[in-house]
Structure 1
Amino acid sequence: MLTPEIEGKRDARKIRGEMGLGDGPIDVFKIFKEKNISYAKKPLKSNISGMFLRKGNVNFVLINSSKTKGHQNFTAAHELYHILFEEGQTGSVCVAGIFEQKSQSERKADYFAANFLVPAETLELELFKRMGSSKRKPDFPDLLYLEALFGVSHSVMLIRLQQFGVLDEEDILRFKKGIINEAVKYGYDTSLYLPTKEDLIVSDYVEKARILLEDGIISEGKYEELLIEAGFEDVLFGEEVQEYEDC
């Protein structure tokens, strides 16, 4: 029986291959668009990372934007695993990036996300670019470079380097705190390490439903039913937004 770590790595390589993504850094939210996966970012008060919902052919992901930008990217990849590989599941609430959860499903999703966002081959190449054949271990500037390149949180990169055998427990403790100050010191963008607090929905579901209504293919009642079923009540019942001449 394969371990969640091996399955996650295998599945990440499979999807990258099928989509022609190569081994470079990727934007999971662009993949959501290609796969017709609707998503929202909301600043939630709870500690969850996100969740996914499936109803028929509609897939929806919710990302907690109270988490850091890097964590949100990891959560998106985690939820992508559930959607692509767990067709029988209709939904799940997730705390991503723990790796040793009791749930086999959640562990596989974490290992998939880690390998999907940071492939071992690319990580090895980038480490060689930074350090050559020297025996030294990565330091803060190296970590900042890798995290910015792959778009992942500091904690995920530390775990990834530990999985790769580059860092040990003592190193993890040394690097665990102070990443924002280090980013400022070395001139890196700190936004990766901060919550975004975004409140948005990205979906073509509403657009498609509206076109069906305007073309007379569905009734007003069916249009409203479709939006309510998919969780877009705010489109129907939200307040009218003020328009500006220069918008």
Structure 2
Amino acid sequence: MSVPKLIIDITREYIDNNAFLFQELPINLDKLIQKEGISVINYPFEDDISGVLVIENDNATIGINKKSSNVRKRFTLAHELGHFKLHTQKSKMFMDNVFFRKKSEGYTSKEEKIEKEANYFAANILMPEHLVRGEIAELKCDLHDDVTIASLANKFEVSSSAMTFRLINLGLI
């Protein structure tokens, strides 16, 4: 499924408007979320829930599964921020199931589309294209090597699988 041009444009505009926060690694999600006025709470969700976004009376709160790894929390925060910037006209609550990443069973095609859009937003803000390309330009090793991917993932504070997907989507591997 391709990402609609509108989502690409909104994501690009968000990065451009906050360019001062997209200059060094890892991206400071706390500042981005604070800038939007969103509260974050760590919550002991069941293992199958990675996070939620709830908007109530113009107040937004992201709940993060406190049992998740740091890289999972970062992706979830960025994903929920994506819902906040892309989808609040569609709903005031988003609950993200860990199993969506493995299979989209149980999701309607509309829900699947919204989740993929939020994932697109998250990947772009955690691994901005200009920073990914800059890091790769400095490499003197094979991008197909697991150690290289893990090293890049570590710099961006994302999982190796997220970095691999980002490199594929940018046409770099």
Same-fold call, TM cutoff 0.5: yes
Q: Which residue of 2 aligns with 1:147?
A: 153
Unaligned runs of 5+ in 1: 168-247
Question: What is the identity, as a one-letter code, of the residue corresponding to 1:32?
Answer: I
**Whole-Å Cα distance in 1 between the matches of residues 30 and 96 of structure 2?**
18
SS in 2 for 1:92: strand
Instruction: Kindly state the Cα deviation for residue 68 of structure 1 after the two structures are TM-superposed.
Output: 1.6
Q: Does 1:79 align with 2:88?
A: no
Aligned positions of 1:7-86 closer than 5 A: 7-20=6-19, 21-25=21-25, 26-86=27-87
**Whole-Å Cα distance in 1 between the matches of residues 102 and 10 of structure 2?**
16
SS in 2 for 1:82: helix
SS in 2 for 1:11: helix
Q: Return 28-37 or 6-15, whichever deviates more.
A: 6-15
TM-score normalised per structure 1: 0.59
Q: Which residue of 2 aligns with 1:226?
A: none
Q: Which residue of 1 aligns with 2:101?
A: 98
Question: What is the identity, as a one-letter code, of the residue corresponding to 1:109?
Answer: A
**Whole-Å Cα distance in 1 between the matches of residues 9 and 82 of structure 2?**
12
Alpha-carbon contact 1:37-1:59 (below 8 Å) kept? yes
Unaligned runs of 5+ in 2: none
**Whole-Å Cα distance in 1 between the matches of residues 4 and 125 of structure 2?**
12
Aligned positions of 1:52-201 closer than 5 A: 52-88=53-89, 89-95=91-97, 98=101, 101=104, 102=109, 103-131=112-140, 136-167=142-173
**Whole-Å Cα distance in 1 between the matches of residues 36 and 149 of structure 2?**
31
Alpha-carbon contact 1:5-1:111 (below 8 Å) kept? no
Give the direction of change, closer, same or farther, for the CA distance of 1:153–1:63 in structure 2 (3 Å limit).
Answer: same
SS in 2 for 1:4: coil
Question: What is the identity, as a one-letter code, of the residue corresponding to 1:144?
Answer: A
**Whole-Å Cα distance in 1 between the matches of residues 135 and 150 of structure 2?**
12
Question: What is the identity, as a one-letter code, of the residue corresponding to 2:66?
Answer: S
Q: Deviations over 1:54-103 (max 9, x none)?
A: 01210000111222211110110110011122232210101368398542
Alpha-carbon contact 2:79-2:121 (below 8 Å) kept? yes
**Whole-Å Cα distance in 2 between the matches of residues 67 and 91 of structure 1?**
20
Larger radius of gyration: 1
SS in 2 for 1:130: coil
Alpha-carbon contact 1:51-1:63 (below 8 Å) kept? yes
Identical aligned residues as a percent: 24
TM-score normalised per structure 2: 0.81
* Between structures 1 and 2, the one with greater strand share: 2
**Whole-Å Cα distance in 2 between the matches of residues 8 and 55 of structure 1?**
24
Q: Return 27-36 or 74-83, whichever deviates more.
A: 27-36
**Whole-Å Cα distance in 1 between the matches of residues 102 and 78 of structure 2?**
14
Instruction: Kindly state the Cα deviation for residue 128 of structure 1 after the two structures are TM-superposed.
Output: 1.5
Alpha-carbon contact 1:9-1:115 (below 8 Å) kept? no
User: Number of matched residues?
Assistant: 163
**Whole-Å Cα distance in 2 between the matches of residues 51 and 16 of structure 1?**
23
SS in 1 for 2:150: helix
